[in-house]
Structure 1
C-alpha cells in the first residue's frame, strides 16, 4: 500500500476516534450537569470524585475534574503509551470544557412527582446509562475518560495479578462509600451504588472485546 495513503487512512481513523471521544465527553457532561449535580449521586469515577471534592471545597466540578485529571494525564502518557496518552489528553480537556458549555438543567426537579426515592432511582439509572456509554465509547476508540479507568490501568501495569475490572470496581466502590459519608444520606449512597452497577453493565455491553493498551 502507498505510504501516503496509509498515512491518510491513519489520520482519518484518528479523527474518527476523536469524534466519538467528543461524543463521550458530551454524554458525561450531560450526566453531571443534568442529573448528578442536583441529586448528589456520586457513582464512582473521576466524575464522582470531582463531585465529592467540589462539595467539600466549593470549587466547581469542571475545575476539580481538571485538577484531578492532569496528573493522571502525565502518568498515562509516560506509562501507558503515546497513542493512549494523546487520546486521553483530548478527553481530559473535552470533559471539563463540555461541562462548562452544556447548560445546567435540574432534570431531577422536573421529575419531583416521583418523590425523593423515585427521583433518585430515575437519576441513578439514567445517569448510569449516560456515564456507562461515555466510558464505553472511550474504551472502544482506544482512549479513556481520564478517570478511575486510567487509575485502574496504571495499577494493573505494575500489579499484573489484579484484573483491571476488579480494580475499577473497587475504586468506584470507595467513591460511592465516601459519597454516603459526605452527604450523610444512606439513600444517596445506595442509589449511587445502583448507578455504579448500571455504569459497569453498560460499559460491558458497549465493549465487545477486552480492553488492551498497546505501547506507542
Structure 2
C-alpha cells in the first residue's frame, strides 16, 4: 500500500515502516496524551520538551495543547526536513499527527481530577509519559519537538551535540514553568518529572533484563569454564591478557549470566579458586544465544 505523506510521495513499504511500527507509534502518542491531559496540564507541570512548553502557553492563554503542539512542530519539521532521512520524515510527521489527534480527543480527561496531590500527579504522569516515549523510541520514532530543535540548532552550533542542545531546551522549559506559575515548587516538580521520564523511557528501550558480566582472571580457568558449562549451561570466552607489572601471560574468562545465576557462579568460582580475581559488571541487555533474540 502506498501513502503519499509528503510531496512526491513516500512509500511506507519501501522505507521498511511496518504496521507494527505505526501501531506502536500511535500507542506511544496515546499514552503521552493521557499523561499530559490527565496529570501534567491540570497542575501546570511542564516536564521539558515542546509539550511542556505547550503546557506553559496553555496556562497563560488557554489555547488547547493540541493546537500549540501542531503550531510549534510544523515550522520545526519544515526547517529540519532536509536534515532527516525519508524514513525519519515519515515517522516524525506520523508522530506529530498522532500526538496532535490524541491530545485533541483526550482533552476531556483534563476535567477529571484524578488527584489533587501535585507530586502524585507528577509521578503518575511521568510513568505514562516515559512508557509512551519508550515505545516511540524503540522504533526510532519521534513526535518532533526538541528532537527536531536539537537537529536544527546543531547546524548553527556544530560544537554542541544534539543531546546537549535537547537537554538545554528541556531545562529552559522546566525553569520557565516555575517562572510563569510564580511557584518554585512547580519548577521542581517539572524537574522531577523530567528525570523520571528519562529513566522510565530508558528502561522501556533497554528492557528489564539486567544481566551480569563476569570477567574472571584465574590460573584454573579451564576448571572454571568446564564447571560453568556443566553447572550453569553457559558458554564462556577466553581472552588473552598480560599483567602490566609482572608481564605474565594470563587467560581471562568472559561470562554473561542472568541475575538469578550470579550467586551460583560466585560460589562455583570460589570453590575452584578462592584467590582468583573477578570483575562483575551490570549489563542492560544481552542478546543472542542463551538470551533474548536480536530484534
TM-score of the pair, normalised by structure 2: 0.61
Q: Does 1:85 align with 2:85?
A: no
Runs of 4+ in 1 over 6 A off after TM superposition: none
* Greater fraction helix: 1
Residues matched between the structures, number: 197
Q: What is the root-mean-square deviation in Å for CA atoms of aligned residues?
A: 2.5
| Counterpart residue number, 1:97 | 101
Distance 2:112 2:193 in 1: 15
| Counterpart residue number, 2:147 | 149
| Counterpart residue number, 2:176 | 178
Bigger Cα Rg: 2
Q: Does 1:28 align with 2:25?
A: no
* Greater fraction strand: 2
Q: CA deviation at 1:121?
A: 1.2
TM-score of the pair, normalised by structure 1: 0.81
Gaps of 5+ in 2: 1-10, 208-295
Gaps of 5+ in 1: 1-6, 113-118, 210-216
Distance 1:198 1:157 in 2: 30
Q: Does 1:59 align with 2:63?
A: yes
Deviation larger for 101-110 or 83-92: 101-110
> Does 1 or 2 have the higher relative contact order (CA < 8 Å, sep 6+)?
1
Contact 1:54 1:60 in 2 (8 A): yes
Contact 1:77 1:86 in 2 (8 A): no
Query: Which whole-Å deviations, capped at 9, do the CAs of 1:45-77 have from their partners, x for residues lacking one?
Result: 111111111222321111011100111222333
| Counterpart residue number, 2:289 | none
| Counterpart residue number, 1:212 | none
Distance 1:8 1:155 in 2: 28
Query: Which whole-Å deviations, capped at 9, do the CAs of 1:98-133 have from their partners, x for residues lacking one?
Result: 111125335883334xxxxxx111111111122222
